[in-house]
Amino acid sequence: MVPFVALVVTVVSALSHPARAHAGPPPVLSHAQQLALARAYAPTLVFHPQEQYFPTNVMSSVDGDGAIGAWSSRVEQYRGRDTATKLGDAALAYRVFTRIKDDHVEVVVEYWCYYVYNSFTVRGGWFPYRVHDDHPHDLERLYFVLRPVGPWSDGSDDSWARDAFRIVGIVANAHDGSIAPNQYHARSRETLSLPVHVLVERGSHAMAPDVDADGRFTPGIDSPGALKAQWGIRDTGSTWRWYLHSFMDQRDGSALRLCGPASDLTDDRCPRYTLYPVERLQRWFQDLQLTSADRDEIVGRTSWLVRTFGDVRVESLMVPSDAANDRVLDRMLRRRSDSESGFVAGFTTVDHSPTLVLGHRSFWELPSGYAPDILAEAVALLPNGKHTLFEATVWGSYRVDAITNVLLGFGWFSESGTPSLAVGTEIRMGKLRVRPSWRLSDGGFDARLTTTF
């Protein structure tokens, strides 16, 4: 009797949870099913009325002989077009893959929005600085995470794609570095209306879901699960931790819109963009067989200044080579923790002697929106011609803006031979960090320049 009851429970559970994973690898979708999903969930992109750059197909820039020109000439050619032509030529790359997550089968619809140029000015929060973030190529990724709501293996049209799945999450890339993506987590059994509206930041093209389609990013509505620093949409370039409505301009009737190929709108208010598969784009780029000199001309090269102080690598923005899986998505979700953790190397001074800093740091982002995050470090200080010193510290790290943390902690410092409270700030500039700190027990001061890898 017991085996029979167990069998009944198993069958009922399977019928009640059609999305629950089964043994073995995740199911494979046909090309027709992938296209249907990409069409059905293609978002409506909402741009600033003064936006100059819109998503386009890199492959459309080849000439009649199949050659592709230098990136600078392609940018100038694009700038010379009128807005209507740019919108009419808009295109997004797509790919669709399946995965097992939390014992469920999930389908991830990924869109690549490629722009020929990124034009943005970053404005500091507590410190009044301005930095131009202009560079060729800009690739922003948008993910729709779906779960089946019933049988789903046999269909392959737009209606099947809409009816057989529901959106459980939206992940929209904001900026690289330590900036977390903008996310929306659907409530249990919540069904979002299609197409989902997605706001696009002026110039830099960071994206954020606009689930209530009011033309404005609203924390708590468009990203209800975010408790820490939220980037949202910041047309002004402000880097403050706290998100304010003034950071973005209202996307009202004057906003520029692009609709997906399955949209019901057919007038000029929302031109339709086309879709093309990422696999074809990657294969096309690989077949070009570019030499190193060709790459420098066609793709470009990141300047030494940006390599040192920035996070952008233009060489990887035109046509990324990653496979169709969730590795990039997972890295995006772990972005801040990954950027704050790792081995540490850098320089400081001890008694006016140049000193090498070597060690390791670990970072834990706490879920509370008010509590500081936790940063733990263990480092060795190797002064020139003097004894090696050691430190072990635990910091509470409170984020002030996108690059600055205020630190309050406790540690043991062999230089003083006693434990002590300490305070400091840490300013992140790309891969580099500048941290002045003070020990409260003996008034010791330390300023160091480090990198984490």
pLDDT band at 141 (very low <50, low <70, confident <90, very high): very high
pLDDT band at 229 (very low <50, low <70, confident <90, very high): confident
Least confident of 22-31, 170-179, 304-313, 387-396: 304-313
Identify the pLDDT of residue 14: 40
**CA distance linking residue 164 with residue 18, whole number of Å:** 10
pTM: 0.90
CA 426 to chain centre: 22
216 versus 67: which is more confidently predicted?
216
> Is 387 in a helix, a strand, or coil?
coil
Give the model's pLDDT for residue 5: 38
> Yes or no: is domain 337-452 CATH 2.40.160.20?
yes
How high is the pLDDT of residue 195? 96
**Edge-to-edge strands, sheet with 44-47:** 207-210, 197-200, 44-47, 256-258
Q: Is the pLDDT of residue 81 over 60?
A: yes
Task: Specify the pLDDT at position 170.
Answer: 97
Is 183 within 8 Å of 226 (Cβ atoms)? yes
C-alpha 437/C-alpha 368 separation (Å) is: 25
CA separation (Å) from 261 to 37, 43, 266, 271? 12, 10, 10, 9
Average pLDDT over residues 389-400: 94
Confidence of residue 352 (pLDDT cuts 50, 70, 90): confident
Q: Which of 297-306's residues contact partners 24+ apart within 8 Å by CB, and which partners?
A: 297/70, 297/71, 298/68, 298/69, 298/70, 298/71, 299/71, 299/137, 300/71, 300/135, 300/136, 300/137, 302/135, 306/135, 306/430
pLDDT in tens, 301-351: 887 766 666 677 888 889 999 999 999 999 999 988 888 999 999 999 888
pLDDT band at 2 (very low <50, low <70, confident <90, very high): very low
Distances (CA, A) of 81 to 74, 75, 123, 148: 11, 10, 29, 42
Among candidate residues 291, 314, 281, 320, the one with its CA nearest the CA of residue 62: 281
From CA 51, how far away is CA 207, in angstroms rounded?
14
Residue 194 is given by DSSP the state S
Q: What local confidence, expressed as pLDDT, does residue 385 receive?
A: 83
pLDDT at 21: 45
Predicted confidence band of residue 78 (pLDDT cuts 50, 70, 90): very high
Tokens 């790309």 locate to 430
Confidence of residue 121 (pLDDT cuts 50, 70, 90): confident
Mean residue pLDDT of the chain comes to: 88
- Look at residue 12 and tell me whether its pLDDT is greater than 50: no
- In angstroms, rounded to a whole number, what is the distance separating the alpha carbons of residues 445 and 423? 10
- Mean pLDDT (whole number) for 59-68: 76
Cis bond upstream, residue 277 (ω within 30): no
404-413 and 373-383 strand pairing: unpaired
Separation between Cα atoms, residue 298 and residue 301, nearest integer Å: 9
Of the candidates 107, 143, 97, 109, the residue with the CA atom closest to the CA atom of residue 38: 109
Residues 299, 179: Cα–Cα separation, whole Å: 25
Per-residue model confidence (pLDDT) at position 110: 98
Note the pLDDT of residue 39. Answer: 97
Confidence at 369, pLDDT banded by 50, 70, 90: confident
Q: Where are the domains of the chain?
A: 18-333, 337-452
- Residue 117 has a pLDDT of 95
Average pLDDT over residues 151-158: 83
Amino acid identity of residue 300, one-letter, is: G
Q: How confident is the model at residue 62 (pLDDT cuts 50, 70, 90)?
A: confident
Do residues 218 and 226 make contact, with C-beta atoms less than 8 angstroms apart? no
Distances in Å between the Cα of 269 and the Cα atoms of 119, 198, 263, 273 are 25, 16, 12, 13
Q: How far is CA 137 from the centre of its chain?
A: 16
Per DSSP, what are the bridge partners of residue 108? 97, 145
User: Given the structure tokens 């920035």, which residue do they identify?
Assistant: 310
